Amino acid sequence: MKKSLMAILTTMVMSSMLIGAASASYIPDDVSYQNINGQQLAVKIYTLLPDQDPAALMENEFENDGTLYKFSDIIKEEQHYDEVNEHTETVTITTKSKKLEDILAELAPTIAYDDGTWSGTLALDHNTIKTEAAGYQSSSYTVTATKTFTGLASNDSALIDKTAMKDGRTLSLSNIAWSVESTALVGDELVPATYSAVATYTASASTSVATGYITTADYIGKVTSSGISSIRYTVTYLGTPIEVPEEPETMPTPLAIVGFFVAFGAGVLLFCICTSKNTTVYQSTGNGNEFDRCGRLRIKSKNPVLNLDKLRDVPSGMIAVEIDAGTARKLFGKTISVVKQDRTFQHIVDKVDGQYWFKLDLGDGEQVLAMAPEVAE
């Protein structure tokens, strides 16, 4: 059987176009090829953040190991979370009084809390109540004192002290209340013999008084948060064997022979260009399981080494490596060395079934030699 030359060229050109177009993608958590009830299936599993678009997961048809796969269906599974946390909320109120009973009248025993992510009911913690003056203003008042004088010979104000002292403050005489203390008989009449007096002393004073009071208090309790942490997508492709048409045995014309060799040469050249590199390197964008394509490298089955320094855009941090299916089969059970500058990482290829993926954290530390975690089987 002979494969059509045009079919070969068309396949290589389409593969080249698809490779060049794939500049960014989501890295699958798992890729498997299965035969269920006589149907050949390719199953790819991805984990995305809730705000990431799953439309990019549905690939165009692709070929693997002589089988052409076309999109069949996608299943969405939301990964939910429920968390409980302790929360303290501080509230502030103003009152005219600093008495505790007046303050408690303004503070509710419990409050509802909801910030859009966390919600719950919080209770007042009485031990956290703190009150202070909101401000001060000056207030005037009158200081008053009295003195009693007895046994005065007359009701003459000259007999009364003009000032008095109270709490270190000097007060001035402001009023005198006289009364007859005793009488005497003069002739046929009773006349005052002695007098008593009650003298009132006053002075103006001022003080600072609070304009009001500010109270802070803490409400404490448990709050809960729930939602969707991530979404798991299972994308299934249905496979059909690729049929290779059998060409009739005919004698080629000279023009056909020339055309064949020209096309064959172009095909060989294009084939070398497209197959010289069999491994794609991606770098994480930091947005969930999304990666950007860094470039292609060639890995040899006899000495499997990936030198990341040969890439135009040398990656850092978390990377993903995709090895073509044919090369992956040859690498089964072997150790791949991933080199970047003076650091070397190692990964053992295991359970190859089609394209092979693995993730690797390059880190920023000193030279390391570490096993890389797998992402696909």
Q: How confident is the model at residue 372 (pLDDT cuts 50, 70, 90)?
A: very low
| H helices present in 311-359, as ranges | 325-330
* Exposed/middle/buried for residue 356 (C-beta within 10 Å: 0-12, 13-18, 19+): buried
- 76-80, 126-130, 154-158, 362-366: least confidently modelled range: 362-366
Q: In what order do the strands lie in the sheet with 335-340?
A: 305-307, 335-340, 343-348
pLDDT number for residue 290:
86
pLDDT at 297 over 70: yes
Question: What is the pLDDT confidence band of residue 244, given thresholds at 50, 70 and 90?
Answer: confident
% residues pLDDT > 90 (the chain)? 56
Q: Which of 34-43, 58-67, 257-266, 362-371 bottoms out in mean pLDDT, i.e. has the lowest?
A: 362-371
Residue 10 confidence (pLDDT):
43
Q: What is the pLDDT of residue 266?
A: 58
Residues 6+ apart with CB under 8 A from 141: 204, 205, 206, 207
CB-side neighbour CA atoms (13 Å) of 164: 19
Task: Please give the pLDDT value at position 321.
Answer: 92
> Residue 40: is its pLDDT beyond 50?
yes
Q: Are 348 and 301 in contact (CB under 8 A)?
A: no
Angle CA(52)–CA(58)–CA(59) in degrees, nearest 5?
125
Instruction: State which amino acid sits at residue 367.
Output: Q
Nearest to 216 by CA among 119, 85, 106, 86: 106
Q: How confident is the model at residue 371 (pLDDT cuts 50, 70, 90)?
A: very low
Residue 51's DSSP bridge partners are: none
Residue 341 pLDDT exceeds 70: yes
Q: Which residues of 33-55 are buried (b: 16+ CB within 10 A; e: fewer)?
A: beeeeeebbbbbbbbbeeebeee
Residue 7 confidence (pLDDT) above 50: no
Q: What is the pLDDT of residues 52-63, one digit of tens each?
A: 999 889 888 999
Cα separation, 361 vs 291, in Å, equals 13
Q: Which residues of 254-286 are buried (b: 16+ CB within 10 A; e: fewer)?
A: eeeeeeeeeeeeebeebbeebeeebbbbbbbee
So what's the pLDDT on residue 30? 92
Q: How far apart are CA 196 and CA 177, in angstroms?
A: 8
At 185 the pLDDT is 87
State in Å, rounded, how far the first CA of the chain is from the last one: 34
**Tell me, what's the pLDDT at 230?**
94
d(CA 156, CA 36): 129
Least confident of 224-233, 272-281, 327-336, 362-371: 362-371
Per-residue pLDDT at 2: 39
User: Which of the residue ranges 75-84, 180-189, 251-260, 338-347 would you say has the lowest mean pLDDT?
Assistant: 251-260
Average pLDDT over residues 321-342: 90
Q: What's the whole-number mean pLDDT along residues 229-251?
A: 84
> Of all residues in the chain, what percent carry a pLDDT higher than 70?
82
Measure the CA–CA gap between 365 and 327, rounded to whole angstroms. 31
User: Please, which residues have CB within 8 angstroms of residue 191's CB and are 6 or more apart in sequence?
Assistant: 183, 184, 185
Q: How confident is the model at residue 82 (pLDDT cuts 50, 70, 90)?
A: very high
From CA 218, how far away is CA 87, in angstroms rounded?
10
State how far the Cα of 290 lies from the Cα of 77, in Å rounded to an integer.
18
Residue 369 has pLDDT above 70, yes or no: no
Phi-psi region of 66 (alpha: psi -120 to 50; beta: other; left: phi over 0): left
Return mean pLDDT, the chain. 84
- pLDDT confidence of residue 1: 38
